[in-house]
Amino acid sequence: MFIKPMFRLAPDTTRFNFMRGRFLGLIVSAVLSTASVVLFFYPGLNLGIDFSGGIVMQVRTDGAADFTKIRTALTDAHIQVQGVQRFGDASEVLIRLSTQANEQATQQAVTQVRDALAKSVAGARIMRTDAVGASVSAELFRNGLLALGVSLLMILAYIWFRFEWQFAVGAVATLILDVTKAIGFLAVTRIEFDLVMVAAILTVLGYSTNDKVVVYDRVRENLRKYKTMPLRELIDLSINETLNRTLGTSMTVFLASLPLAIFGGQSISGFATIMLFGIVVGTSSSIFIAAPILLFLGEHRLRRDTVAPVAKDATAAEP
Amino acid sequence: MMYFSRLKTYSILGACLIGLLLCIPNVMKAPASWLPWRTVHLGLDLQGGSYLLLEVDMKAVVKERLESLMDGVRQALRPGAIFYQTLEARTEQNQVFVRLRDASKTAAAVAALKPLISTDNASGTPDMQMVSGDDGTITLTLSPVALHARASGAVLQSIEIVRRRIDETGVVDPQIAQQGEGRIVVQLPGVGDPDRIKRLIGKTAHMTFRLVDESANPAGNGPPPPGVDFLQDQDRPGQRIAVRKRIDVDGADLTDARAGTDPTTGEWVVNFTFNSVGSRRFADISTANVNHRFAIVLDDKVISAPVIRSPITGGRGQISGSFNAATANDLSTLLRAGALPAPLTVIEERSVGPELGADSIKAGAISLAVGFLLVIAFMGFFYGLFGWFANLALLVNLILMLAIMSLMEATLSLPGMAGILLTLGMAVDANILINERIREEQKLGRPPLAALEHGFNRAFRTIADSNATAFLAHVALFAFGSGPVKGFAVTITLGIATSLFTSWMLTRLLVARWYVARKPKLLPV
């Protein structure tokens, strides 16, 4: 264990013919992503308070929470509640209120809930209060989308700059497919979509790109090494050669995210779940999506046209 | 590649050592006050606390400016006996509109109003435009530049006053800062329930002393006579008091206000002291109006309206009303801190109780520990010795991240902790790329040293490219994210930077030293 490697994720000399399944891969991916887009519109995402606005209060009671009592207390105080639900532990309750008419009303509602609980539910402690006004939530949503869009553009530009346009387009197209699937996953699981989710999706994006770069880098290298090998064979070879890297790097991030999903508590477990999903999707898309797209885009162009420019590239020159 | 000069070796080890030293402040108190003792701060979500985002009501700023301009117009036209038919503020267009009764006096009116235009600002441009028509109409339009300057002034002033009000409550280490054009962020560590603070911030606290108009009847339904306001009586809801519009003394002329009890009645009162201007004016008014009532008005509500028994010349006064200890204290706090130039609204609130914060720290710490162990075990099993080199580098990476965060006095949030863990997972990726490459090179038949050389060298490009994209994605997140998410972006970008150092420099150094010591015939990759 301390000196020699104990195991390999894949044998060193695999000869999988990945490109034979390229149509299947692309079709499955396209279907899943289309379904995700449909799910995005109907039933839509379960928007968290960051993006929908409103009020969320997390309450902890002594012992198991008495939901009827809490509901009655709130109804008696004439508070329009969107939901009272269990949050993790049996003693934890999440009270949600939808967006109020204006900011003053929002603040009033917070006070009302607080007072109603203090009066009628003995031992209830408010652990967390989030109140987001309508103007702020719209802004947070816009900024979230901007962050997503800007990072996609930057990744596109970077890969274009470092590789060839076919690589950049292939990577970004795959990333968009990945992101739509993550969104579909969110819609199906009803995990709340909030700011932290945008962070998770961006991390998946960055991570997934990592994976693609590893494969693309090998393709770039092999393009110079095997000047006459057909592109299809060359891509297959590259994927096989980097299989242990792709699986290994995914494994470490997966292992790092796993405890977050299990022990991280309610607020972070959704984040970690998306990470885990994204890692699986990102890893498979590096092999089954990004590479086939590169094959389609580069079939007749990449071979001859790019060998020269890549070789000229100073950073690519061998020492 | 695999040769390290003595200087280089010591610099790498030195950097690691400095990192370790920089982490120390996080676990112990400063032994001497002169030592630079910087630590990572816990975010509000971890230590408990409140985050409030306030918006300055810019419309109120404009409205107030227009009202004072209208007042100026009124006073400017009076001496020349120029009468007007209409005088109104048009808030949407930022203008004041006047229609004169006698159109032939337009020129005279324009001349009288000219002194109202001020060019007293940085750019030297007039702060409003005056346009007059032949039909006796005059419009005064405030320039956008002047309004903008006024608005930003209002925000700065609001920040100052919010700070004073919060300081009075004894909250430790509050952070108050401007965000964007007209917003203020208030962070209150340790305040799980910001109710009282919100109440303090939510009041404009503009106090005025005005005479009560005893001839008007506020009980009727008719509109108040010119120059008079019907204001609510705070203590008797539904009751209105007729108060003259003219402000005799402004709350800005107070120098001090303290809560106390009245020695005769034992009731809670607020005692105040005027500055010299306020004292003189208050003395004049009270002397001229003995046996009349004056009203103490706070934010358009009458707190009390006592009868002046005798002239008050000492510059001191007392406000009584139905106060208790808390309300008297709050009012004195507000009066001492001064009035806000415009109302503030809380548009976002996030507060976390200390109990939940402690839970989050625990959850984060457990995840971090388990995740770290899982990654280390995986690398150890997967690569053997080379995996342990990577693991040592990973530990150093964790230390370096903490060191830089301490140095920056960065804030660690729960998402930030998740970010650290993810970074650890991604940092060893570089080692995986390196080790796989070395393994490949060795398979191609290269001798150990050459395999190491090529392995590190060729893997570097892949590492740089793959990390650069992840880095870019998180820079975007930092730019557009807010709050805890920003903390997440900071830890990840930082982690990417430090992992380049540990995986590329430190592991290479470790491997090189090991190679020199052992001279193995075959690399155990």
Of B465, B503, B221, the residue nearest A215 (C-alpha)? B465
Kindly report the nearest CA distance between residue A241 and chain B, in angstroms: 9
For residues B315 and B294, give the distance between their C-alpha atoms in angstroms, rounded to a whole number.
16
Instruction: Please check the confidence at residue A317 and state whether its pLDDT lies above 60.
Output: no
A104 touches chain B (CB under 8 A): yes
Number of domains in chain B: 3
Q: If you average pLDDT over residues A281-293, what whole number do you get?
A: 92
Say yes or no for a CB contact (<8 Å) between B426 and A207. Answer: yes
Chain A residues inside the 8 Å CB shell of B467: 210
Q: Are residues B342 and B483 in the same domain?
A: no
Please tell me whether residues B365 and B328 are part of one structural domain.
no
Tell me whether residues A263 and B469 touch, CB distance under 8 A.
Answer: no
In a domain, residue B89? The reply is yes
* B378, B443, B473 member nearest A252 (Cβ): B378
Residues of chain B contacting A59 with CB distance shorter than 8 Å? none
What pLDDT shows up at residue B116? Answer: 86
At B110, which CATH number? 3.30.1240
Question: Is B446 a domain residue?
Answer: yes
CB-CB neighbours of B259 under 10 Å: 20
pLDDT of res. B163 = 92
pLDDT score of A235 more than 70:
yes
Q: Give CATH for domain A54-132.
A: 3.30.70.3220
Q: Do A130 and B350 touch (CB under 8 A)?
A: yes
Residue A1 has pLDDT above 70, yes or no: no
Residue type for position A315: T
| N residues, chain B | 525
Q: Which two tokens stand for residue A121?
A: 């539910």
**Pairwise CB contact (< 8 Å): A7 & B381:** yes
Asked if residue B391 is part of any domain, the answer here is yes
List the strands of the sheet with B95-100, edge to edge: B84-90, B95-100, B137-142, B128-132
Same domain, B340 and B462: no
A99-144 pLDDT tens trace: 888 888 888 899 899 889 888 888 888 999 999 988 888 888 898 8
Amino acid of residue B501: F
A129 with B351: Cβ contact below 8 A: yes
Chain B residues inside the 8 Å CB shell of A206: 469-474
Q: What is the CATH number of the domain that holds B225?
A: 3.30.1360.200
Which residues neighbour B101 within 8 Å (Cβ) at sequence distance 6 or greater? B83, B84, B85, B136
> Does residue B153 belong to any structural domain of this protein?
no
Q: Are A33 and B411 in contact (CB under 8 A)?
A: no
**A23, pLDDT greater than 60:** yes
List every span in chain A annotated with CATH 3.30.70.3220.
54-132
Tokens of A55: 């009020």
State the pTM of this model: 0.83
Same domain, B365 and B313: no
DSSP, residue by residue, B375-426: HHHHHHHHHTHHHHHHHHHHHHHHHHHHHHHHHTTPEE-HHHHHHHHHHHHH
> Which of B329, B350, B371 is the last residue in one of the domains?
B350
Cα(A154)–Cα(B36) distance, integer angstroms: 38
Q: Are residues B452 and B469 located together in one domain of the fold?
A: yes
Is there a domain that residue B187 lies in?
A: no
Q: Which of B369, B455, B469, B454 is nearest to B420 (CA)?
A: B369
Regions of chain B short of the pLDDT cut 70: 1, 120-123
- Residue A107 in contact with partner chain B when CB distance is under 8 A: yes
pLDDT at A2 (0 to 100): 67
Which two tokens mark B364? 């984060």
For residues A181 and B105, the model is more confident at A181
CA dist B123 and B120 (Å) reads: 8
pLDDT over 70, % of chain A: 94
Amino acid at A306: T
Dist. CA B113–CA B100, nearest whole Å: 13
Distance of residue A173 Cα from the nearest chain B Cα, in angstroms? 15
Parent domain of B21 = 6-48+354-518
Q: What is the ipTM of this complex?
A: 0.89
Q: Is residue B1 part of a domain?
A: no
CA distances from A66 to A89, A115, A120 (A): 13, 17, 11
Positions of CATH 1.20.1640.10 in chain A: 18-47+137-317
CA distance to partner chain B, nearest, from residue A289 (Å): 18
Residue A307 has pLDDT above 50, yes or no: no
Question: What was the pLDDT predicted at B388?
Answer: 94
pLDDT band with cut points at 50, 70 and 90 for residue A304: very low
CB contacts under 8 A, A 211-250 vs B, are 211, 213-214, 217, 241-242, 244-245, 248-249
Nearest to B418 among A7, A135, A260 (CB): A260
Q: Which helix (H) or strand (E) holds A240?
A: helix A231-241
Instruction: For residues A1 and B207, give the distance between their C-alpha atoms in angstroms, rounded to a whole number.
Output: 77
Tell whether B198 is covered by a domain.
no
Dig out the tokens for B348 from the structure: 């976002």
What pLDDT shows up at residue B122? 64
Chain A from 17 to 76: CB within 8 A of any B CB: 58, 60
Say if residues B191 and B49 touch (Cβ distance below 8 Å): yes
- Which residue of chain B comes nearest to A275, CA vs CA? B422
Average pLDDT rounded to a whole number, residues A38-64: 90
**Any residues with CB less than 8 A from the CB of A78 and at least 6 apart, and which?**
none
User: Which of these three, B148, B174, B190, is where a domain ends?
Assistant: B148
Given B350, B366, B395, which residue is the final one in a domain?
B350
Q: Is residue B168 part of a domain?
A: no
Q: Is B126 left (phi over 0), alpha (psi -120 to 50) or beta?
A: beta
The pLDDT value given to residue B417: 92
Topology at the third CATH level for domain A18-47+137-317: Multidrug efflux transporter AcrB transmembrane fold (1.20.1640)
Q: Examine residue A43 and say whether the peptide bond preceding it is cis (omega within 30 degrees of 0).
A: yes
Confidence grade of residue A300 (pLDDT, cut at 50, 70, 90)? confident
The verdict on B70 and B29 lying in the same domain is no
Residue A297 reports pLDDT greater than 60: yes
Provide the shortest C-alpha distance from residue A304 to chain B (in Å): 23
Q: Is B499 found in the same domain as B409?
A: yes
Measured between CB atoms, does A114 come within 8 Å of chain B? yes
B33 and B131 assigned to the same domain: no
Please name the residue ranges forming H helices in A190-230. Answer: 195-225
The SS3 call for residue B242 is: strand
Q: Cα(first)–Cα(last) distance of chain B, in Å?
A: 19
pLDDT score, position A315: 43
Sheet holding A83-87, edge to edge: A83-87, A89-97, A54-60, A125-132, B344-352, B49-56, B183-189, B175-179
In a shared domain, residues B212 and B130: no
Sign of the CA dihedral running A206, A212, A218, A223: negative
Q: Are residues B393 and B283 in the same domain?
A: no
Instruction: Identify whether residues B244 and B276 lie together within a single domain.
Output: yes
B213 and B113 in a single domain? The answer is no
- Using CA atoms, how far apart are residues B455 and B447, in angstroms rounded to an integer? 12
Amino acid B380: pLDDT? 93
